[in-house]
Amino acid sequence: MIVFPNCKINLGLSIIEKRNDGFHNIETVFYPIPLYDVLEIIPSGDGNTTFNSSGISIPGDENQNLCLKAYHLLKEDFDLDGVKIHLHKAIPMGAGLGGGSSDAAHTLILLNDLFKLKLDQEQLLNYASKLGADCAFFIFNKPSFAFERGDQFKALDLNLEGYHVIIVKPEIHVGTAEAYAGVSPGHHLFSVENLIKKPVDEWRFTLKNDFEKNIFANFTEIEIIKNTFYENGAIYASMSGSGSSVFGLFKKPIDLSPKFEGYFYWSSKI
């Protein structure tokens, strides 16, 4: 069985306050984007479960991959047979696009179908939330206002169909601790949930990502990408999540790949 885990972009991101558990409460909007990995899971036939990957290289120990963690999480409650998991990575990692979280969520969905576990959406959401803050989003995979740790969601009536999106990621890794280091949490005058209701043409002036100020100061290369989008007609551009990818929304197709030679570059109509 094969599924195609997609990624998301963050439309605005406000860091509200630091929590007692060490995490932060945030506000953001997750919007699904048609950039996909490919995930295949088949019965192993020998009782063993294995994971391998192709495409973009996955750093670290593949045995710690979220797809395997999703399998073992379900195996705690169900008598699952062994499987072979193959993941073809096309979504860049460390980009703020949620690719790993999407892979984990789609593993749950695929295993639910493969083994006929009959888990409903609410049960899948519960399992997904144990794997990562934004994993649950990819279970229902629709435009959503995310709040608290980014793990609570409210559906939004938001449609960007017809716009064109370009995503560019330089060879820069921004660690989570580094991203938060220069941020001063605080309540904002207007909620992201309300700002997103304004016309897209106004987002440039109102919808901000709180991570950008500190990260742009440390990595000017990322800021240059955003500025290049605006210089070439983007109606809205932003870093996604804590980076390091930047996306631009355009009203018509445009090829900016020559300007970003050597970077990860992807473009599509939404």
User: For 201-238, what is each residue's pLDDT tens digit?
Assistant: 999 999 999 999 989 999 999 999 999 999 999 999 99
The Cα–Cα gap between 166 and 163 comes to 10
User: For 144-161, what is each residue's pLDDT tens digit?
Assistant: 999 998 889 999 999 999
User: For 16-27, what is each residue's pLDDT tens digit?
Assistant: 988 888 778 899
Catalytic residue among 37, 89, 103, 134: 134
Name the CATH topology of 164-269.
Alpha-Beta Plaits (3.30.70)
The model's pTM: 0.94
Give the pLDDT band (50/70/90) at residue 8: very high
Catalytic residue among 8, 89, 169, 226: 8
pLDDT computed for residue 109 by the predictor:
98
What CATH code is assigned to 2-155? 3.30.230.10
By the 8 A CB rule, do 95 and 130 touch? no
Q: Clarify whether 8 is annotated catalytic.
A: yes
Q: Clarify whether 251 is annotated catalytic.
A: no
- Domain spans in the chain, listed from the N-terminal domain onward: 2-155, 164-269
Q: What percent of the chain has pLDDT over 70?
A: 100
